Structure 1
């Protein structure tokens, strides 16, 4: 009998905040010194719903309070296969209404930027894992679909 391997589970939530044809992205510095652009959001705490994680993480990374959270899609599957960061990922993607001023308190966030939808993909630097799974094109596919108005509810990764 072959037993399935056990992978650590990563649960995270991200929010598409759109204003005047622009998507809000956060900027972080990667281990290699490059700037990484990503959606506001992050890991869920044990016992926390993905929706609650989205609200908490957006506040921490941007300073904004979000309301009217609406589910868009779920990304699920093995991520970073064959690396030291391999995990089973469950990522919720939401839209919301944002209130307040941009004022991130997360020390890892270098800045927060409204980016025209047509320019979002040009900021994504695809590259090899393991340090940043967002560089994996499979993670950005739902964002590209969202920008095109063609988001699906489920994405296997």
Structure 2
């Protein structure tokens, strides 16, 4: 049994919902204006507001951050992020319309459609297992 003591005040982090958007063999990543440690490239998303489901939050956040219109397909899973300590919900969404852009320049400074082979370059510490499995099935693999 281990006990942890901290001198920091414990603050509960609000849950976040992120959208996994696959289109034309690529997945959309967004670069946060302010990185959290190693985390700079993320899936578009943000805090779940009162009364929202993770699916509703993911759809709203994608619109606010990137200008894309999407529909929720399924929740891939949830966890407490091992690097940020934030409760996370991962939602697969389908692109309905729009062009990906930085729509919220206070939050983001870039967006990029990346291939399966580029995931490790953008997320060197690895993806959440269910998200990696989903992308393994949804994205074509290029042979090196």
TM-score relative to the length of structure 1: 0.66
Contact 2:49 2:57 in 1 (8 A): yes
1:27–1:112 contact (8 Å) kept in structure 2: yes
Q: Distance in 1 between matches of 2:131 and 2:12?
A: 25
73, 76, 80: which one pairs with 1:73? 76
Instruction: Give 1:23's match in structure 2, choosing from 6, 22, 27.
Output: 27
Find 2:18's aligned residue among 14, 20, 23.
Answer: 14
Q: What is the Cα deviation at residue 35 of structure 1?
A: 7.4
How many angstroms does 1:40 deviate by?
1.1
Answer yes or no: is the 8 Å Cα contact 2:74–2:92 preserved in 1. yes
> Runs of at least 4 residues of structure 1 off by over 4 A?
31-35, 77-80
Secondary structure class of the residue paired with 2:137: coil
Q: Which runs of 5+ in 1 are unaligned?
A: 1-5, 127-136, 151-157
Alignment coverage as a number of residue pairs: 128
Q: CA RMSD in A?
A: 3.0
1:47 to partner: Cα distance: 1.7
Q: Counterparts in 2 of 1:7-156, with a 5 A limit?
A: 8=12, 10-31=14-35, 36-67=40-71, 69-77=72-80, 86=85, 89-106=87-104, 107-126=106-125, 137=126, 140-149=128-137
CA distance in 1 between counterparts of 2:81 and 2:39 reads 25
CA 78–120 in structure 1, closer or farther in 2 if over 3 Å, else same? closer
TM-score normalised by the chain length of structure 2: 0.71
